[in-house]
A = this chain, B = another copy of it.
Amino acid sequence: MKKIINAPQDVVPEMVDGLVRAYPQYLKQVPDTLAMVRSDTASMVGKVGIVSGGGSGHEPAHAGFVGQGMLSAAVAGQVFTSPTPDQIYAAIKAVDQGQGVFLVVKNYSGDVMNFDMAKDMAEMDDIEVQSIVVDDDIAVKDSLYTQGRRGVAGTVLMHKVLGAAADQGASLDELSQLAQAVLPHLNTVAVALSAATVPEVGKPGFELADDEIEYGVGIHSEPGYRREKIKPSKALVTELLAKIDERLHLDASHQYAVLVNGMGATPLMEQYIFSHDLLDALAEKGIKPAFMKVGNYMTSIEMAGISLTIFELTDAKWLDYLTYPVKTIAW
C-alpha cells in the first residue's frame, strides 16, 4: 500500500479537518463530530435541511456537495463504514430550521440502520425527518452489504435535484414526493479496472489481472456481474448502455441526464473518451442528453474505473433543478 497518509486510523478525522480548513467559505465542522455543515447558514433560514453522508472513501461525496442549492450537511463515517447515529443526529440538529430535515441515504444496511436511528433521535426532539434510500445501481440485486440494489453515483443527482427544490422553498413533504418520483429513474452501472485499498486493510478489495476488467463492481469492491479481458472504450460503452437499456428502454422521444463518473484513479482523459463513445452510441438511438457531467463525483478511493448513470427526466422541472446554480466545492 503506497498512500499519502499518516496513521491509517487517522485518515478520516485528518481528511475532514483538511477539507474544512481548506474551504472555510463552504464548510464548517460540527464540533466533536465528523459532520460538516454549510458555512452560509443564513441561506438555510426557513428552508428544509438536506443531510446526506455515509462511509468515507467516496470523495468528493458527500461533503463536496454541501452548499447553497445542494446539501445542508454531510456526515463522514470511517472508510467504507456508516457514520454512527449520534453523528448523523448532530448534523440533523445543526441544520434544522424548524421546517424539518430530509435525509438522503445510500442503500447499504449499515447506513439504512444508522440513518433510521438518527431519525428516531431527531423525532424525539421534535425535529420532523423524512428520508429516501437511493438504490440506483442496476448491476446486481442484493450485494455484500445491501438488501436490494446498491446506492452509488446516482445519489449525487438526487442531492442536486432535492437541493435545488429545497433552496426554492419546497416543504418536507414536497421533497419526499420529489425524491420518490425521481428514484426509479436513476440507473447506474460501473466497470472496474482495479480495486480500492482501504487504509486500515492495506491491500486491494479484490484482484484483477493486468488485462482484466469487471462489470458491475460496487463502490466498496462488492462483486459485479462479469469479469473479462479489457476491451476498447467503445465496447465498454456498449456493455454498460445495454445493461441500462434492459431496464430503462431508452427512447429518442424522452429526455435524459447523464453522469459519467470516475471511480478515483481514472484520469479525465479516459472519462472524456468514454463520453465520446457514449454520445456516439446514444446518437445512434437518436438521443442527445439534455444534461451531462463528466468527472469524479462518487469515487471508491483509488479504484480505477467508470460508472455511467442515466437519469430519465420524466418531469421538465428536474432539468431546471439539475442546472440550478449551487455554491459547492465539487458539483
Instruction: Tell me if A275 is interfacial: C-beta within 8 Å of chain B.
Output: yes
**Complex formed: what's the CA distance from A64 to B267 in Å?**
13
Chain B residues near A268 (CB-CB < 8 A):
59-60, 64, 296, 299
Q: Whole-angstrom distance between the alpha carbons of A58 and B330 in the complex?
A: 19
Tell me, yes or no, whether A42 is within 8 Å of chain B by CB: no
A193 within 8 Å of B (CB atoms): yes
Does A301 count as interface, using CB distance less than 8 angstroms? yes
Task: Report A1-28 CB contacts with B as 1/0, cut-off 8 Å.
Answer: 0111111000100111111011100000
Contact of A2 among B79, B210, B234, B275 (CB under 8 A): B210
Residues of B within 8 A of A271 (CB): 4, 18
A274 at the interface (CB under 8 A from B): yes
- For A60, the closest partner residue in chain B by CB is B268
Interface flag for A294 (CB, 8 Å)? yes
Binary CB contact string for chain A from 133 to 176 against chain B (1 if under 8 A, 0 otherwise): 00000000000000000000000000000000000000000000
Inside 8 A of A16's CB, which chain B residues have their CB? 272
Q: Contacts A267-B301, A294-B18, A302-B267: A4 and B276 contacting too (C-beta < 8 A)?
A: no
Q: Is A255 an interface residue (CB 8 A)?
A: no
- A270 near B: Cβ within 8 Å? yes
In the assembly, what is the distance between CA of A266 and CA of B262, in Å?
A: 12
How near does chain B come to A263, taking the closest CB pair, in angstroms? 10
Does chain B have a CB within 8 A of A293?
yes
A279, B22: Cβ atoms closer than 8 Å: yes
**Contact A5 B233, CB 8 Å, known A19-B275, A275-B22:** yes
**Which residues of A are at the interface with B, using a C-beta cutoff of 8 A?**
2-7, 11, 14-19, 21-23, 56-57, 59-60, 64, 79, 191, 193-194, 210-211, 213, 230, 232-234, 236, 260, 264-279, 292-296, 299, 301-302, 304, 306, 330
Partner of A4 from the list B274, B294, B330 (CB cut-off 8 Å) is B274
Q: Are A273 and B2 in contact (CB under 8 A)?
A: no
- Residues on B with beta carbons closer than 8 Å to the beta carbon of A301: 267, 269
B274 touches A22 (CB 8 A): no
Contact between chains at A2 and B302 (CB < 8 Å): no
Known: A4-B270, A6-B234, A11-B273. 16 other contacts (CB 8 A): A3-B270, A4-B273, A5-B269, A14-B272, A14-B276, A15-B276, A18-B272, A18-B277, A18-B278, A19-B294, A22-B272, A22-B275, A22-B293, A23-B294, A265-B265, A302-B304
Asked if B266 and A230 make an inter-chain contact with CB atoms under 8 angstroms apart, the answer reads no
CB neighbours (8 Å) of A194 from chain B are 2
What is the CA–CA distance of A133 and B276 in the complex, to the nearest angstrom? 32
In angstroms, Cα B271 to Cα A265, docked, is 13
Ranked 6 nearest A-B pairs via Cβ: A18-B276, A18-B275, A59-B268, A265-B265, A18-B272, A4-B270
* Distance between A36 CB and nearest chain B CB, rounded to angstroms: 12
CA distance A14 to B237 in the complex (A): 14
Task: Tell me the minimal C-beta distance from A19 to chain B in angstroms.
Answer: 5
Task: State how many angstroms separate the Cβ of A75 from the closest Cβ of chain B.
Answer: 16
Contacts of A330 in B (CB 8 A): 295
Given contacts A2-B210, A6-B234, A19 and B272 within 8 Å (CB-CB): yes
